[in-house]
Structure 1
Amino acid sequence: MTDLNHSTTASEQDAVFFARESFLGELKTLNRDYPNTGFGISLRTHSGEHYLLANARMPLPAAKSDGFPTGRRVASLENGDRFSSIEVMADSLAYETISPRAEAEILGNAIELIARIDTLTGIPAGGVPQEPQIAATGTGG
């Protein structure tokens, strides 16, 4: 039983590493296109591990279990193959000054980023495929 748990944990850590490496380009594009905005990505595995990835403008929490201290959820996916949730956050203070058109572009980029993370790490963790639910929200409320 310990080997199975170790195998699952190692597999999840591999997925997190692979996700980081595969979407750094997209995060750099967001940084370039919206230089005054903080962006963060929250990854939660099915075993309960929590990983946060962010650019330099996104405030980090004292403990990663607290999540990002500021920001709005731009888009999220629940119950993916590898991750129980993937969230893309944008720093709320800088994000309030962005036009509706730019907001729509960020939303599109965030959805593509989530889809890329989920697709590239999509080996079923528990063997039972679940229907993913992608939620996309604007920042207006």
Structure 2
Amino acid sequence: MTDLNNSAAHEQDAVIFARESFLGELKTLNRDYPNTGFGISLRTHSGQHYLLANARMPLPASKSDGFPTGRRVACLENGDRFSSIEVLADSEGYETITPRAEAEILGNALNLIARIDTLTGIPAQGADHAPRITATGTGG
């Protein structure tokens, strides 16, 4: 039972860290693409679901429903702390973005996912105290 409590505590720590560290990333995306809503969906290995979004991303009635609009820009599955990390862009604003801007958003989204996975995957006691699980992405 202690292992389950420790695992849940580590997941909560990772979520809190992601929220504190990556709200700035959402602000940057908001500044660079002011007519687009962006959201980050974090699912933990224990099944918890957390959402981070800028002001233009419509929020769901229940977080378990996920974002009501938007399309997936990038996703990573089976990370160290999260079973999935998704970056979504609101579909209405996203449709007016040029192909070049879309490529830039994809690059930003992939960097954001990599930072979340890398930084939240480092155990608090140090890398030598916990087993590492190789994460696999869903894209190329």
2:137 is matched with 134
TM-score under structure 2 length normalisation = 0.90
Query: RMSD of the alignment, in Å?
Result: 1.5
1:63 is matched with 62
Structure 1 pair 136–35 and aligned structure 2 pair: CA distance change class (3 A):
farther
Q: Deviations 1:81-133 (Å, cap 9, x if unpaired)?
A: 11000000000011000000000000000000000000100137xx5533322
Residue segments in structure 2 that go unaligned for 5+ positions in a row: 124-129
* Distance in 1 of aligned mates of 2:80 and 2:137: 13
Number of residue pairs matched by the alignment: 134
* Distance in 1 of aligned mates of 2:59 and 2:119: 26
Q: SS of 2:138's equivalent?
A: strand
* Distance in 1 of aligned mates of 2:44 and 2:116: 13
Identity %: 78
* Distance in 2 of aligned mates of 1:90 and 1:77: 16
Matched, 1:104 2:72: no
2:86 is matched with 87
Q: SS of 1:4's equivalent?
A: helix
2:53 is matched with 54
Runs of 4+ in 1 over 6 A off after TM superposition: none
Matched, 1:73 2:69: no
TM-score under structure 1 length normalisation = 0.89
Q: Deviations 1:59-94 (Å, cap 9, x if unpaired)?
A: 111111111110000000000011000000000011
Q: Which amino acid aligns with 1:28?
A: K
* Distance in 1 of aligned mates of 2:65 and 2:44: 15
1:6 is matched with 5
Is the CA contact 1:74–1:136 (under 8 Å) kept in the aligned structure 2? no
